[in-house]
Amino acid sequence: MKIAFLADPLSSFQTYKDTTYAMMREAGRRGHTLYAFEHRHMAFAGGAVVADVARITLTGDPEDWYRAEVPAAMALTEFDIIVERTDPPFNMEYIYATYLLEMAQAQGARVVNRPEAIRSHNEKLAIMQFPQLTPPTLVTSDAARVRIFHREHKDIILKPLDGMGGAGIFRVREDGMNLGSIIETLSHNGERTIMVQRYVPDIVKGDKRVLLIGGQVVPYCLARIPQGGEVRGNLAAGGLGVAQAISPRDREIAETLAPILSGRGLLLVGLDVIGDYLTEINVTSPTCFQEIEQQTGFKVAEMFVDALEKAV
């Protein structure tokens, strides 16, 4: 197959942990031809969606890990499948990219995850579709509503709707210390909508990343455990990643969502689960493949490329 990875600059990859690299390595091992490009390389021209795409070869060297040919303009329909792996922020440029990919799809390209499904599943807001699985949650730009929610639940988490890696997440305890300032900062004085959730004490055991691939549940998750007094377990915020078998509750949540999300065109999904609660549904570029394989031996990238091959 000709597989094109739509990703951040290859020079930014940290190959010892990067999930997109793990995907590429497994696809290359199977003899598939690999290509790479970025959102900024796409265009609608001459009635078709095209991009300046580079064919790449993996070297096996963890530092100088790839060789890239000179990029050439190619129609996106020339690939057997395109894998969208661009990290957030999910801003207007990302949305424009999904529209271009959707047009390419209409012309015959295969894209995973489906661009319209990515666009329809804000990684914070998508959990609102499954309130039976989530902690008490408020979405608002109204400071008064946040204060009422805090009085009711006493210990809360506040976060922006467009962040990643734990950026902009705050905890406010019963004393309400700095609540007003945090609301003003996150909501830009009421101009932006934010999410507020009841604090889940089980975060001390980890913010678990549970993966769904092709409608199937990966049997291991990565518990990202906060360190040094942090409330955030995200690896980007210094969390310690500990791979472990998924719990019965993790499986219950995952098996509830797997057929629904797969049916919407989401081949790869990363659920965030704290304790017994679903807190996020990640669809842009879910990670943790390498950490799970390194600690458990379960080859997540093999499962993913199996699903890719089945999708073509």
Sequence-distant (6+) residues with CB within 8 A of 183 are: 143, 146, 147, 158, 194
CA dihedral defined by 46, 49, 52, 56, rounded to 10 degrees?
Answer: -140
Q: Catalytic: which of 25, 85, 114, 209?
A: 209
Catalytic residue among 25, 85, 198, 232: 232
Question: Active site includes 232?
Answer: yes
18, 123, 280, 291: which is the annotated catalytic residue?
280
Q: Which of these is catalytic: 25, 85, 114, 159? A: 159
> Of 74, 30, 34, which Cα lies nearest the Cα of 52?
74
Residue whose pair of structure tokens reads 């963890």 in the numeric block: 62
Catalytic residue list contains 18: no
> What are φ and ψ of residue 89, in 5° steps?
-75, 145
Are the beta carbons of 289 and 236 closer than 8 angstroms? no
Known catalytic residue at 91? no
- Match 């050439």 to its residue by tokens: 72
What six digits make up the tokens of 265? 């065109």
For the chain, strand residue ranges (E) read 2-7, 33-37, 42-45, 48-58, 66-68, 72-75, 81-85, 111-112, 137-140, 156-160, 170-172, 194-198, 207-213, 216-217, 220-225, 240-245, 268-274, 277-282
- Asked if 157 and 170 count as a contact pair (C-beta separation under 8 A), the reply is yes
Choosing from 25, 85, 124, 198, which is the catalytic residue? 124
Catalytic-residue membership of 93: no
124 is catalytic: yes
Rounded CA-CA distance 111/119 in Å is 13
Judge whether 249 counts as a catalytic residue: no
Tokens of 132: 């039976």
84 catalytic per annotation? no
Distance of alpha carbon 282 from alpha carbon 256, whole angstroms: 16
* Active-site annotation holds for 272: yes
Catalytic-role residue among 25, 113, 224, 234 = 224
Which residues are designated catalytic?
124, 159, 209, 224, 232, 272, 280, 282
